[in-house]
Structure 1
Amino acid sequence: MGLFRRKQAIAPQERRATARYAVDCPATLKMLGGDRVGRLSDLSDAGARLETSNPPAEGVSGLLSWNGHEHFGKIVWANDKSCGIIFERPVPMHVVEETVEQVEVQTGPVANFGKIPLGQKRSRRASLVSDA
């Protein structure tokens, strides 16, 4: 009855050996052919993603500079608006953590309290949902 056996789905394995973190800070990739200015969008101790309008080709090496840090790496993939960089040596974890902490998240008020009418009853639908 081998024809009717259900195949078990195998989950794809994560290729990355280290965790990566979402960041948003200015960065420059310095290369012999010229610098590329952009923004880091993710970072780990092993590599980074640089968002730039003119990413370099795969295989190009350069010095990635951000927030006073510089690390040498190689482009492992590139598309129209970004590229992936693998570092020659791991970035110290305290540098990754420092960069993650500097990400500014804009927060605002949840609601404009001046526009909330006071003294009005909830709609019938809202009260039915809360009773359930």
Structure 2
Amino acid sequence: MALFQRLPQTNQDERRTVQRYTVDCPAQLKMLGGNRDGRLSDLSEAGARFETANPPQEGVSGLLAWGDYEFFGKIVWANENSCGIVFERPIPLSVVEQTCEVIEVQSGPVANFGNIPVASRGRRASLVSRDS
């Protein structure tokens, strides 16, 4: 009779019961010890990944807020720049879907084609106008 029984190992993907979605939106983790600003990078009905410069320790509870939403959860893992949050109660799928639709995209200035030098074969284009 064995005192300790070795249980089969399951990887993290097998333990998940809901689909996770990649998102990218600003978020804030509100805790008794102070708020942390960051970005939501992964979301499901059961939890989220919160990217921040100084993540809280495992076991800390707080409100994860983004857009018009706030949900209470607990930190279940943390590393140097992110943490995993499990929600106290599953959030509505409609919230997950709406968050996925509002992915923020960083946009820069559009290139002005008049400023791009055109090169002919075998020569480099001159960046200085010949008229000046």
Partner residue, 2:97: 97
* Aligned Cα root-mean-square deviation (Å): 2.5
The answer for unaligned runs of 5 or more in structure 1 is: 1-10, 116-132
Structure 1 CA distance, aligned partners of 2:40 and 2:52?
Answer: 9
Partner residue, 1:54: 54
Structure 1 CA distance, aligned partners of 2:106 and 2:34?
Answer: 33
Which structure has greater helix proportion?
1
Report 1:18-37 matches (<5 A).
18-37=18-37
Report 1:36-47 matches (<5 A).
36-47=36-47
Task: Give the deviation of 1:45 after TM superposition.
Answer: 0.4
Structure 1 CA distance, aligned partners of 2:40 and 2:60?
Answer: 18
Percent of residue pairs bearing the same amino acid type: 67
C-alpha distance after superposition, 1:39-96 (max 9, x if no partner)? 0000000000000000000000000000110000000000000000000011101000
Q: Is the 8 A contact 2:25 2:104 kept in 1?
A: no
- The count of corresponding residues between Structure 1 and Structure 2 is 104
Structure 2 CA distance, aligned partners of 1:24 and 1:14?
Answer: 25
Report 1:92-131 matches (<5 A).
92-105=92-105
Structure 1 CA distance, aligned partners of 2:25 and 2:102?
Answer: 8
Task: Give the deviation of 1:105 after TM superposition.
Answer: 4.8
Structure 1 CA distance, aligned partners of 2:50 and 2:91?
Answer: 16
C-alpha distance after superposition, 1:18-58 (max 9, x if no partner)? 00000000000000000011000000000000000000000
TM-score of the two chains, using structure 1 as the length reference = 0.70
The answer for unaligned runs of 5 or more in structure 2 is: 1-9, 108-112, 118-132
Q: Is the 8 A contact 2:53 2:81 kept in 1?
A: yes
